[in-house]
Structure 1
């Protein structure tokens, strides 16, 4: 009989691989509570609008901001738990050694991808956080509420992509170390 893991336990490949991944995982689990807050304020808006005929000016933009930031954070969260998208049709058919080399390729491409996107996000942040003369002035939505959410989301995208860049480097180093150990066995 095969040793089967209980259905509620995670595969070891889906566990955070290093200290940064563990931090991202723990923070992500805490941040996920913001989805409850988003639902609560959306429910509040529905009550105010349809029950009391007193719609709010802040709920829609706040809910969109929180949802957008959480969605962006989901990228590094998925990478921290090895739940990112991969072509399993090929991946599952090859040996463990070939999988490791596919992982190396994936991490190298991830470094390039996240590095280039980080640069583009930096340009977005620069445009949305600073005036042409270099003074700090956060871009706002232009609505009646007029929060600086657009600039903050762009900042979140930049920070998240920088973290993803570091994650890919750490994962690549771990993968190469695993290959080296495999060759020495």
Structure 2
């Protein structure tokens, strides 16, 4: 028995389809608690600024960083449970067979999209992580606190797009196997 959810099963619309999707889903649920941390430190900043007249220099950049990273992760999370954006006006009125072919088209376009964006993100990471001579130097925000958050966000974009490329590959293989099995029946 496999751990995979068959794409045609009734529960497949909102369930992880493979082990990578399950890991992304589980990790995403765990790190979603960072949204609460972001709210807490933002509340702390408001109290420090308006009650004690002693604003922090780290809260705004930290909250922005955490929110950005979590929203970036949201792309692979949504793909892992099949909650990505699709034109349901068309998708919902076509036959199951056409829907499967639309899924194949979606996965192929997703591979192209994530592959090209991965390449662009790699270039961005190169520029933000290394000097022209190849020395490690993470890009900083340029503020008084000056954290390396810009470089880390760019690294997260690159890593997430690479994972998304693998996800689209796995989903395409699963969809093609599903089509093949339908023809064999």
Moved over 4 A (4+): none
Aligned pairs for 1:75-94 (under 5 A) are: 75-94=75-94
In the aligned structure 2, how far is the partner of 1:11 from the partner of 1:47?
45
State the Cα distance separating 1:91 from its structure 2 match. 0.5
Deviations along 1:85-110, one digit per CA (max 9) or x if unpaired, are 00111101111111000000000000
State the Cα distance separating 1:127 from its structure 2 match. 0.1
Does residue 177 of the first structure (1) align with residue 167 of the second (2)? Answer: no
In the aligned structure 1, how far is the partner of 2:20 from the partner of 2:119?
21
In the aligned structure 1, how far is the partner of 2:78 from the partner of 2:59?
28
State the Cα distance separating 1:143 from its structure 2 match. 0.2
Deviations along 1:155-181, one digit per CA (max 9) or x if unpaired, are 000000000000000000000000000
In the aligned structure 2, how far is the partner of 1:91 from the partner of 1:174?
19
What are structure 2's unaligned runs of at least 5 residues? 1-9
Does residue 59 of the first structure (1) align with residue 59 of the second (2)? Answer: yes
Does residue 125 of the first structure (1) align with residue 144 of the second (2)? Answer: no
1:12 is aligned to 12
In the aligned structure 1, how far is the partner of 2:155 from the partner of 2:96?
39
TM-score, normalised with respect to structure 1: 0.94
TM-score, normalised with respect to structure 2: 0.94
State the Cα distance separating 1:11 from its structure 2 match. 4.1
Question: Aligned to 1:53, what secondary structure does the other structure show?
Answer: coil
Deviations along 1:51-79, one digit per CA (max 9) or x if unpaired, are 00000000000000000000000000000
What are structure 1's unaligned runs of at least 5 residues? 1-9
Question: How large is the RMSD of aligned CA atoms in angstroms?
Answer: 0.8
